[in-house]
Amino acid sequence: MDALKRSLAEALVSYYVLAGEVVANPITGEPEILCNNGGVEVVEAAADVELRELNLHDPYQSLAKFVPMKVHGVFAIQITELKCGSLVVGCTFDHRIADAYSMNMFLHSWAQISRSDVPTSYMPSFNRSLLNPRRPLVIDSSVDQMYMPVTSLPLPQETTNPDNILTSRIYYIKADVVRELQTLAGNGKRTKLESFSAFLWKLVAKHAATTTDSKLLNSKLGIVVDGRKKLTEQETNTYFGNVLSVPFGEQIIDDLTHKSLSWVADEVHKVLESSVTRDHFLNLIDWIETRRPVPVLSRIYGTGSEEGPAFVVSSGKSFPVTGWFTYILRKDS
């Protein structure tokens, strides 16, 4: 526990924004980071349960108890020691200051610093010139079809139908199953993300099609895209902040249900193909500049309840597995 806190303090030297807080700019009213070295709240906890006893399938019954509530600042950590001696590290962060790519960089760095034999390979960059708008601004009307000011969001409606209440679940899908999906989705010409997203889209559509009135509605699929590699020519980009876009597509539920997985995968590919470009992110930056200080978001998040189902897929960065273990030999009788 002490070693984790010491390495955390060392990691925050480079990732100093995580020890700050979000305040309103006194002139524009826009949120900005105040790097005041306020620190990170760390909660130490203990749980009378072993790691193998956790119900990881239902995160509300297990993992949610290891994630702290953020009271102050932009980042909070909870370190929970289990009965078996294992440690579970949970964290909460303010999405206004960082995306998942940025937080993964920090967690990798923290893990590397915790191990004295591993050099730190991620040094964050806070050079905001990456997101500078062009002069003059170039306004592409296609961005209006993808994004909207939050002031245009429809009023939230109370959910009374138990079938519409979201439930969180965690599934472990083996690599050979994903490879099989790739084969079915296009004989290997589609990526793992495209193939699995197509599979999910068909599942969501199939469930929605159980209601007769829903078959002619459209279902929307969005995919979170990182723009770092599109905005810079550097091979590795450690920009810390938010560099995301959420392109989406929509198809008739009946088509998603009855057409092949390869057809759906092709539609997923089209969603990404039109947006994973440098021009797309430059157009988005310029478009946002014209809307400031009003926050904006992808239109897929503004899908009304009277429309078909909509969901967003994101793909996280993998973590290396390290640790210590002991072989136990057992002789079966």
Q: What is the mean pLDDT of residues 3-12?
A: 93
Pairing relationship of beta strands 41-47 and 310-313 according to DSSP bridges: unpaired
Residue with more model confidence, 8 or 117? 8
The dihedral through the CA atoms of 56, 315, 150, 304 has a sign that is negative
Average of pLDDT values for 292-301? 92
Question: Residue 209 pLDDT > 70, yes or no?
Answer: yes
φ/ψ region of 111 (left if φ > 0, alpha if ψ in -120 to 50, else beta) reads alpha
CATH architecture of 2-121: 2-Layer Sandwich (3.30)
User: For residue 315, what pLDDT band results from cuts at 50, 70 and 90?
Assistant: confident
For residues 313-319, average pLDDT? 78
Q: What percent of the chain has pLDDT over 70?
A: 89
What confidence tier does 323 reach under pLDDT thresholds 50, 70, 90? low
- The pLDDT assigned to 320 comes to 63
CA distance 82 to 75: 23
- Are 204 and 311 in contact by the 8 Å Cβ rule? The answer is yes
Q: Please give the biggest Cα pair distance in the chain.
A: 80
Mean of the per-residue pLDDT values of the chain: 88
Q: How far is CA 268 from the centre of its chain?
A: 18
- CATH number at 171-313: 3.30.559.10
What's residue 162's pLDDT? 63
- pLDDT reported for residue 65: 93
Residue 161 is predicted with a pLDDT of 64
Task: Find residue 251's DSSP bridge partners.
Answer: 219
Question: Where exactly does CATH 3.30.559.10 map onto the chain?
Answer: 2-121, 171-313
Cis peptide before 119 (omega within 30 of 0): no
pLDDT at site 9: 94
Give the pLDDT score at 329.
Answer: 46
Chain segment 217-233, per-residue pLDDT in tens: 899 999 999 999 899 87
Reported as a single tens digit per residue, the pLDDT across 162-201 is 666 678 889 989 999 999 999 999 888 999 999 999 999 9
Based on the number of CB atoms within 10 Å of its own CB, is 275 exposed (0-12), middle (13-18) or buried (19 or more)?
buried
Residue 212's pLDDT is 60
Q: How confident is the model at residue 262 (pLDDT cuts 50, 70, 90)?
A: very high
Closest by alpha carbon to 152, among 12, 303, 259? 303
Element (H, E) at 204: helix 192-208
Q: What is the pLDDT of residue 103?
A: 94
pLDDT exceeds 50 at position 331:
no
Structure tokens at 126: 């806070």
